[in-house]
A and B are shown apart, each in its own frame.
Chain A
Amino acid sequence: MARILIDKLRHSYVQDPQKPEDYALREMSLEMADGGAYALLGPPGCGKTTLLNLISGLLHPTEGRILFDDTDVGRKTPEERNIAQVFQFPVVYDTMTVYDNLAFPLKNRGVAAGEIDKRVREIADMLDLGHMLGRRASGLTADGKQKISLGRGLVRSDVNVIMFDEPLTVIDPHLKWILRSKLKELHTRIRRTMIYVTHDQTEALTFADRVVVMNLGEVVQVGTPVELFERPAHTFVGHFIGSPGMNALPCAVENGMPSFLGNPVRLGSEIRVPNDGGKLEIGIRPEFIKFNEHEAGPAIPVEVTKVADAGRFRIVEARHKGQLLKVLVTEGDAIPTGTSHVRFDPTHTHLYSDGWLVK
């Protein structure tokens, strides 16, 4: 197990990088606690796989350092770094049984046979593979094979960090959530540092203690799922996380106060509204907009244009002066038709300048 420190890391696939665009991974620093569960979340091409490969040692960084427990591992190969990795497409040794697959890493390291047997059975039980140990690995379904992949990482006692590279991509949808819960349960049980790369926010938010949201090679925000939800540091995080994503509304400044198309907007905390020419936006999640007919207080008139049923809640599209607002209405609450008013919850209303949260 190890604490991972990433220090001013930058990486380019181009030989001689000049412009910022040449860098697949912009400069970033990050600390991952020992035994923590982290997710690297972002759309394809955001640099998360690059970061994963840099940490695992498959790539050497153009600039910066990576430290495992205060040791610079920049020069070390993947095996020297003592990592384990589960790949997107299941990698198993087809000709071996499940048992031999799990035992393989230990055999290569010269572990005693009795010890191997003990650990293999222990891990197999943890992964619900105990009854399949005698079967050939090639005969298992995709989720079984991924478990074997994971198992090969878990049997080793010297593993610093376990990396997952979009491991659920090829799993059947109805098996995905089983495996997801299993991973979370495993992490809670064995407390190894785990880094999970995905573009699926559900996977990231259910698995990780802290999520590293990335976009276009940059780390946009690092935080707990709750933090990401309630206080997105960037409009991108607001969009990417949550379904539907955050509303980003045009904002102007009137009398030093933020205003949305003529309506003054109250924010959760006292902040100075910046006046440096940056594009201002109000960010508020649909969950925190309420239809307000009967309460007192400032309200924004809207016209309800569309209602979509999403099961446990409804997504209502309303327009104010042509600007679209998405409002989330929980089960049981009434939805007005025609014209109505909405109220923003100030605690969850944020101001963004050029996409970044104004604090």
Chain B
Amino acid sequence: MNKQVNQKAWFLVLPVVILVAFNAVIPLMTVVNYSVQETFGDNVFSWAGVIWFEQVLNSPRFHDALLRQMLFTAIILAIEIPLGLIIALAMPRKGFWVSVCLVLMALPLLIPWNVVGAMWNIFALPEIGLLGKGLNSLGFDYNYTRQPLTAWFTTVLMDVWHWTSLVVLLCYAGLVSIPDDYYRAAKIDGASAWAVFRFIQLPKLKRVLTIAILLRFMDSFMIYTEVKVLTGGGPGNATTFLSIDLDKIALGQFDLGPAGAMSLIYFLIILLFSWLFYTLMMRNEAQ
């Protein structure tokens, strides 16, 4: 779109900036503050420079957690984005069933995350849970509390169950927003269903898909409550992703310095990847 230059647009944006900055700037300064200081108890802080950053970045524990996190997020994105898109494409556009679909699909999103973790905890238990018992009776040796692989499987399954609907809802809204005239023109031009998808639907969904990818990337990278309640990070540290690791350091050991540093590094990693995603997906808009 050819946008016109208009500095007065700042007025339209001002309320948003004020609200968000009010909430963002002060806490950020606090975290930065902690990350570069050392505490000797009793609130005595001394300047520690970048020692915490070095410590965190060099720790193998951090590397492990980071790698686990990256793998997890990659799997999540690879499943949820295409799956959400396909389901949105398959959903009815008009009629009574639309309401039914939308409401039912939204339900997993509305459950508080600790309840999600708790219900899957029981649901997947080998002896007393529907999933656990079901899989075992089908012949699989399934016990997520002991087996790292099935712990991963269960965690991924839980996340897919929980969050795919977000992608579906976004893509569905994006799809119904495509004006009918595009489909009519495609019919008149004799386009196949695949051509319609490739040349009309997918391009028009680009922005919505970007939002979905970024949202899922960020939220899965920060995942904490559900995993903590489901596996506690185990067995061992098989499912100890970054947030859980951070939690162990900060609260368990009350090391504010390393925790602060790790938070910042964490944030910067997400920032970097998000920025890359965003730039990649939006590079065409520069015209």
Q: How far is the CB of B58 from chain A (nearest CB, A)?
A: 46
Is A78 a contact partner of B188 (Cβ separation < 8 A)? Answer: yes
Query: A78-B187, A79-B187, A139-B287 in contact; A94/B203 too (CB < 8 A)?
Result: yes
Q: Which of B182, B190, B195, B200 has the most CB of A within 10 A?
A: B190
Is B192 a contact partner of A108 (Cβ separation < 8 A)? Answer: yes
Count chain A residues whose beta carbon lies closer than 8 angstroms to a beta carbon of B.
26
Complex Cα gap A96–B189 (Å): 14
Is A149 a contact partner of B185 (Cβ separation < 8 A)? Answer: yes
B: which residues have CB within 8 A of A?
Answer: 2, 179, 181-182, 184-185, 187-192, 195, 199-200, 203, 287
A: which residues have CB within 8 A of B?
Answer: 58, 77-79, 83-85, 87-89, 91, 93-96, 104-105, 108-109, 136, 138-139, 141, 149, 152-153
Is B189 a contact partner of A89 (Cβ separation < 8 A)? Answer: no
Query: A79-B190, A136-B287 in contact; A87/B185 too (CB < 8 A)?
Result: yes
Q: Which of A77, A85, A138 contacts B287 (CB 8 A)?
A: A138
Complex Cα gap A87–B182 (Å): 9
Can you report 15 residue pairs joining A to B where beta carbons are below 8 Å apart? A79-B187, A83-B188, A84-B188, A85-B184, A85-B185, A85-B188, A88-B181, A91-B185, A93-B199, A93-B203, A104-B189, A104-B191, A104-B199, A105-B190, A108-B195
Complex Cα gap A79–B2 (Å): 33
Least CB separation from B199: chain A residue: A93
Residues of B within 8 A of A91 (CB): 181-182, 185
Residues of B within 8 A of A77 (CB): 187
Question: Which 6 pairs show the lowest CB-CB distances between chains A and B?
Answer: A108-B190, A105-B189, A91-B185, A87-B181, A93-B199, A95-B203
Residues of B within 8 A of A93 (CB): 199-200, 203
Q: Which of B187, B188, B192 has the most CB of A within 10 A?
A: B188
Least CB separation from B285: chain A residue: A138
Residues of A within 8 A of B199 (CB): 93, 95-96, 104
Q: Which of B189, B192, B200 contacts A152 (CB 8 A)?
A: B189
Is B188 a contact partner of A89 (Cβ separation < 8 A)? Answer: no
Complex Cα gap A136–B285 (Å): 12
Is B181 a contact partner of A79 (Cβ separation < 8 A)? Answer: no
Least CB separation from A92: chain B residue: B185
Is A58 a contact partner of B191 (Cβ separation < 8 A)? Answer: no
Complex Cα gap A96–B185 (Å): 15
Complex Cα gap A141–B287 (Å): 13
